[in-house]
Amino acid sequence: MKIAIASDHAGLEMKDFIGEVLKQKKIDVLDLGTNDTASVDYPLFADKVAEAILAHQADLGVLVCGTGIGISIRANRHKGIRAALLYSDEVAEMVKRHNNANVIVFGGRTMAKDEVAKRIDIFLNTEFEGGRHQKRIDMLDM
């Protein structure tokens, strides 16, 4: 599995932490930046991950900004992208089961590293249920 990761400056530290967590799981990581603390515009990094997913260069994306909100909004403007903010453990499970999210999002300034690591585990270890949920997912891009 290959996972594309990106963040703005506010998500940089969390993005780098997530990259290490994924590498420890022997997952291939495609780091699309940012890679320093200079202020950058989060929509550009949402676009990089969305484009990598849509071009099949990665199986899943991870995005981080300060709250996770702005970068989610932008990612979800790409048809075919289902970006979900994992704001609780329950949500980490449900966005795989029901929404089959292909981008998971975290808040670098609003979440703790241990909760982010736990939610990544939950998401990766949960299966999409398909069936009626696939029909609803198909409707998202109509």
When asked if residue 66 is in the footprint of ligand RB5 (CB under 6 A), the reply is: yes
Longest CA pairwise span in the chain (Å): 45
When asked if residue 42 is in the footprint of ligand RB5 (CB under 6 A), the reply is: yes
Binding track, positions 70-89, relative to ligand RB5; x by CB under 6 A: x-------------------
When asked if residue 65 is in the footprint of ligand RB5 (CB under 6 A), the reply is: yes
Task: Report the alpha-carbon angle 30-33-37, nearest 5.
Answer: 150
Which window, 21-29, 44-52, 67-75, 79-87, contacts ligand RB5 (CB under 6 A)?
A: 67-75
Are residues 5 and 50 in contact, defined by beta-carbon separation less than 8 angstroms?
Answer: no
Among 8, 18, 19, 52, binds ligand RB5 (CB under 6 A): 8
Residues sharing a CB contact under 8 Å with residue 28, sequence separation 6 or more, in sequence order: 1, 2, 3
Out of 9, 56, 78, 98, the active site residue is: 98
Among 3, 4, 6, 10, binds ligand RB5 (CB under 6 A): 10
Q: Which residue has the tokens 């099949």?
A: 56
Cα 102 to Cα 50: distance, rounded to the nearest angstrom: 9
Tally Cβ neighbours within 10 Å of residue 117: 16
Residue 98 a catalytic site member = yes
C-alpha of 29 from chain center: 13
Among 69, 94, 117, 137, binds ligand RB5 (CB under 6 A): 69
Q: Judged by CB, which is closer to ligand RB5: 10, or 91?
A: 10
Q: What residue ranges bind ligand RB5 (CB under 6 A)?
A: 8, 10, 42, 65-67, 69-70
Residues known to be catalytic: 98
